[in-house]
Amino acid sequence: MSTNLKYLSLGILVFQTTSLVLTMRYSRTLKEEGPRYLSSTAVVVAELLKIMACILLVYKDSKCSLRALNRVLHDEILNKPMETLKLAIPSGIYTLQNNLLYVALSNLDAATYQVTYQLKILTTALFSVSMLSKKLGVYQWLSLVILMTGVAFVQWPSDSQLDSKELSAGSQFVGLMAVLTACFSSGFAGVYFEKILKETKQSVWIRNIQLVSFSLEPFL
């Protein structure tokens, strides 16, 4: 039963990631009258949905008691300002990263974006070694080298690209720089967040509420 659940979760995750990229790419390149929506608006809506989901999960863990939920949020967030401030750095980085992903998808096709963005695996591994003192085996390093090689081949221009004078959706250079910056920011923020989770006993839902709160503050 647990094995089937793992495969089901993996399938849902793959479908969600793929459909998200295709939807974002379609929405950013759709030609229609009027101005295009702001990427910051999409980021804020996503963060609002995220914080609502986390609050619901904390509410469930509090045995569906509004009084208990209010006490947990007050004790874990308002009464621990220094712990909450630790999330300011990854929050700002994640906000930058989410906006960069929209820039990247506005200038790269979905396949190129998806493959190039997998470099975040490499950056996460490097930051894990440097910040968490993790040790990677030979096969793990070899896998990272193969990943870099694959991304390099994807970025290698084909004959049709060399002959074409116009790009179908903006500047590929801008898109590439945006996705590479997002890879580094994703790796650092992810490892930093993992380090914070390991150093404290607060639940991941509380930590996510703190994280999203900083992300939403500039827009409120």
Q: How many whole angstroms separate alpha carbon 109 and alpha carbon 132?
A: 35
In the chain, where are the structural domains located? 39-155+168-217
Query: What does pTM read for this prediction?
Result: 0.80
Give Cβ neighbours of residue 209 (< 8 Å, ≥ 6 apart).
Answer: 51, 54, 55, 58, 73, 77
| pLDDT tens digits, one per residue of 110-149 | 888 888 888 888 899 999 999 888 888 888 888 888 888 8
| pLDDT tens digits, one per residue of 20-77 | 888 888 888 777 777 778 888 888 888 899 999 999 999 998 888 889 989 998 888 8
Q: How many whole angstroms separate alpha carbon 65 and alpha carbon 77?
A: 18
C-alpha dist (Å) from residue 33 to 22, 30, 37? 21, 10, 12
